[in-house]
Amino acid sequence: MRIMDLLDRKSISISGSPKSKDEAIRQMADLMDKSGKLSDKEAYVKGLFAREEESTTAVGEGIAIPHYKGNAVTKPGLAAMVIKDGVDFDSIDGEPVKLIFAIAAPDVKENVHLDVLSKLSVLMMNEDFSKGLINAQSVDEFVDIINKYDEEKEEVKEEAPVTAQSGVKILAVTSCPTGIAHTYMAAEGLQKAADKAGVFIKVETRGSGGAKNVLTAEEINEAHCIIVAADAKVPMERFDGKKVIQVPVSDGISKADNLIQRAIDGNAPLYKASGAVEDTDGGANVGVGQQLYKHLMSGVSHMLPFVIGGGILIALAFLLDDFSINPANFGKNIPIAAFFKTIGEVAFGFMLPVLAGYIAYSIADRPGLAVGFVGGMMASSGNAVLEWVNSAGEPLTYTGLNGFLQNTVFGASGNTVSGFIGALVAGFVAGYVVLFLKKIFSHLPQSMDGIKPILLYPLCGVFIMGALMLLIFNPIIGVVNTALANMLNSMGSSSKILLGFVLGAMMAIDMGGPINKAAYVFGTMSISQGNYDIMAAVMVGGMCPPIGIALATTFFKNRFTVAERQTTITNYIMGACFITEGAIPFAASDPLHVIPATAVGSAVAGALSMLFKCTLMAPHGGLFVFAVVGNWPMYVVSWLVGSVITMILLGILKKPIKK
């Protein structure tokens, strides 16, 4: 199969003039649609944009190769556009793009077209080929150039790499999320750079058609250095103890010479299959901040389904329930509501353990999972308050270690639930505790390797994690909550507007955590004392974060990832149902920008609620209790103002995501 078998003449434009990247992608979809190879053009467009969210397909030197593989494509195809004046395409070298090849690949097992696409990707690395296409004066000339180079490529016989006299042997693995273009362009870039440097290289490509040119155990053993240029998962255990350079696949295209030189110099860390890397070059090629963010996003991405699934079911429970039966039991007053709320609460219960567990998993691999789960569960449940008595019911007082534990851990006053902040801390602590244990136990005889993951890591890790949560993290929360309660009580007698401001902010700082719960408990206690304005400020403060974030994902789309924008409707529903936790994934992934925005918006809403003398007689919130809200029109105004402030601050504080 040749390139022109996939490229229809109707899908070629040599006079493109898009004004932006978005416009260029849509024009490429129009060209592709002319060939009749799309079943759903809009789905294809969305697929192209989704690929750009992962990383730009503009590979430098004025070239871009946007691509999509999925059900929107009926037959494999190509579309091409020449843009004489260039267009900004977020290229990795910052240069405008003048030549675009769009790829459409069907989601089928037969991947006969992939060889053609990989051949085109490699040809694009040839400067004469790409310049010839950019300067083509007609579609016929454009096609002739492709056919000329396609024939030359067919005639070239693959030859085994020759070991250089220096004896340096470099191996490489390239892979991108879709495995179509960047995989092979990075391989070609590394091969050319190695040829220029006069060293041996073998490149394993992991594309849509599977792994090709797979590295053998003998080759890995003899390798001087290994380059992994990948944005997709690559089997790494085989490289244990070898010097490995890990970079994005785009670096294999744009920084190939630098990577080869680093490999020749041995300027790379030793890879440890456990996930730990021994830094030998004075600085890891991936920054600490990037590593922490990757671990954090591992936890957030796994937590998100529990938040969405559980949150919507709880919202349905409120929608179906009868508030008038028993306001204190709202959500479970009738069987059908209780049915939905019970399932939703179980899903919500997994949220923090999963967050902590998968942060730890990202850091320490599978052994970190159990330790992180335990830490997250303890952050969610807090410390138990226990009372010891003898058979006669008389209280027992212990001394020594027992007395310390009795008073510090199991007799702690106040709420010791540390919430999602505690779960974040638990996840990172658990991961690094397990890495520490791996290092400690690495000195044991090899015969004991089998019991490390099933006995030593979980036993020691869970004990250390549990002790830290019970003795340090959770008790600290109890002290914080006691201080907050005292502060709120004193504030209530001085300035109601200031109290509303503080309560609103507290509801939005940790979203379901101890600070949020302290404000909520204070509001419910105030109802029993006949102070209904405090609960109103609490409720409006808790409803603003999800709505403000939903508004931001609606009107500031470029500040959020595709996955984040997909939660927009869910957050509208959660905000309307007083489920503040819908904002947790956003706060967890970007706390420095999201938490200030939500806190300020909710604080203003709480202050306005107090200013307008709004009241709430129910110990809960959401649209479903508006029947018992006093001065509800101004209450809605307070809610909307706070949400819009959150939206505006998010638009200001969060920067557009780089494609």
d(CA 19, CA 25): 11
First to last CA, the chain: 33
Return the structure tokens found at 29. 């979809």
Return the structure tokens found at 488. 């709120």
Sign of CA dihedral 434, 353, 407, 511: positive
C-alpha 63: how far from chain center: 28
Catalytic residues: 67, 176
How crowded is residue 11: how many other Cβ atoms within 10 Å of its Cβ?
A: 23
If you search the block for the tokens 């508004």, which residue do you land on?
A: 551
β-strands 169-175, 200-207 pairing: parallel
Query: If we measure between CA atoms, which residue out of 70, 63, 64, 62 comes closest to residue 45?
Result: 70
Sign of CA dihedral 562, 563, 564, 566: positive
Q: At 215, is the secondary structure helix, strand, or coil?
A: coil
Query: If we measure between CA atoms, which residue out of 329, 368, 539 comes closest to residue 457?
Result: 368
DSSP per residue, 428-494: HHHHHHHHHHHHHHTTS-GGGGGGIIIIIHHHHHHHHHHHHIIIIIHHHHHHHHHHHHHHHHHHHTT
Crossing angle between the packed helical segments 632-653 and 591-611, to the nearest 10 degrees: 160
CB 365 within 8 A of CB 432: no
d(CA 13, CA 9): 9
d(CA 331, CA 341): 6
Alpha-carbon distances, residue 377 vs 315, 383, 646 (angstroms) = 23, 11, 30
How crowded is residue 390: how many other Cβ atoms within 10 Å of its Cβ?
A: 8
